[in-house]
Amino acid sequence: MAPAIQARGLRKAFGKSIALDGVDLTVEPGRILGLIGPNGAGKSTALNAILGLTQCEGDLKVLGLDSWAQRDRLMTDVCFIADVAVLPRWMRVVQALDYVQGVHPRFDRAKAERLLDRTTIKRTSRVRELSKGMVTQLHLALVMAIDARLLVLDEPTLGLDLIFRKAFYDSLLNDYFDGDRTIVVSTHQVEEIQHILTDVVFIDRGRIVLDTSMEAFETRYAELAAAPEHLEFARALKPIHERQLFGRSYLIFDGADRERLAALGEVRTPSLADLFVATMTPASAESGRAR
């Protein structure tokens, strides 16, 4: 089966600013990819390229199609949830349901209704009468009720409180993802998506700095809470990052022998958020300490 997304040498410049700088990326069908990066790293440009909203140099195929030249065909199989839900403020909720049902042949009206039943949104309410979080919930219900092969999420839970953010990701797994669909999600709330991901990509200044499956991540990286008397020995093993927390040193290693580390303190797998910080602020070559 062809990759859901395959990019080779993807490059995009806005004047003298390089948004994407030779990106190579392959996402297989049925995977959930987390695209993580700081502000200005190129995430939005990459998502826009996948959606056919911007033209790039290089080669990009999405669901086997040229996302720019064949966007009309592509959009029958792709859904997108942006960081800002754009819905007409004058429209009533029921009118939004009617509209999507009329324009998209793969919209499941009953499913959208079920998703809305979990909220306090009234069908007669106008968009302008809804809170920011409720507008986001409405947008999610509309998009997740479309039977798409690829779902692209850009900060999908922006404006939602913690309870609804958790409910969204639970719904994503239980009501949408079936092992055949592919999901790409970009968010700064890394801790909230780690448990649903199959793959993760870190991007910085237009370049991919980490591309790994979650299975490989869990075996490749280790975090050591070093015992004070073993700290210098741990630093000699060249960690990629070190941080201080409550007077204790935590060091992250790439490819280190876990048994060897265990003799120096407590060992665990780092969180994606901690690895992201370590990747963006690597330890200096001389001291092994964080910069």
* 182-186/199-204 β-pairing: unpaired
Tell me, what's the pLDDT at 223? 97
CB within 8 A of 119, min separation 6: which ones? Answer: 134, 137, 138, 141
Tell me, what's the pLDDT at 133? 81
CATH number of the structural domain 5-205: 3.40.50.300
Query: Could you give the angle at which helices 93-103 and 132-144 cross, rounded to 10 degrees?
Result: 30
Rounded-to-integer distance, Cα 181 and Cα 186, Å: 17
Yes or no: say if 208 and 11 are a contact pair by the CB < 8 Å rule: no
Q: What is the pLDDT of residues 244-260, one digit of tens each?
A: 988 899 999 999 999 99
For the chain of 291 residues, list the mean pLDDT of each consecutive stretch of 10: 93 94 96 94 94 95 96 92 80 96 93 93 95 85 91 85 84 82 92 93 95 96 96 95 92 96 96 93 46 32
Burial pattern 211-229, b for ≥16 Cβ within 10 A else e, equals bebbeebeeebbbbebeee
Yes or no: say if 5 and 184 are a contact pair by the CB < 8 Å rule: yes
Q: What does the block give as tokens for 44?
A: 């939005």
- Quick one: which of 68, 47, 57, 50 has its CA closest to 13? 57
Which H helix or E strand runs over 49?
helix 43-50
Q: What is the pLDDT of residues 118-169, one digit of tens each?
A: 899 999 999 999 988 888 889 889 988 999 999 999 988 877 788 888 888 8
Q: What does the block give as tokens for 193?
A: 């998506």
Give the pTM: 0.88
Tell me, what's the pLDDT at 86? 75
Rounded-to-integer distance, Cα 189 and Cα 166, Å: 11
Query: Could you give the angle at which helices 162-171 and 132-144 cross, rounded to 10 degrees?
Result: 0
For the chain, which residues make up each domain, given as ranges? Answer: 5-205, 217-280
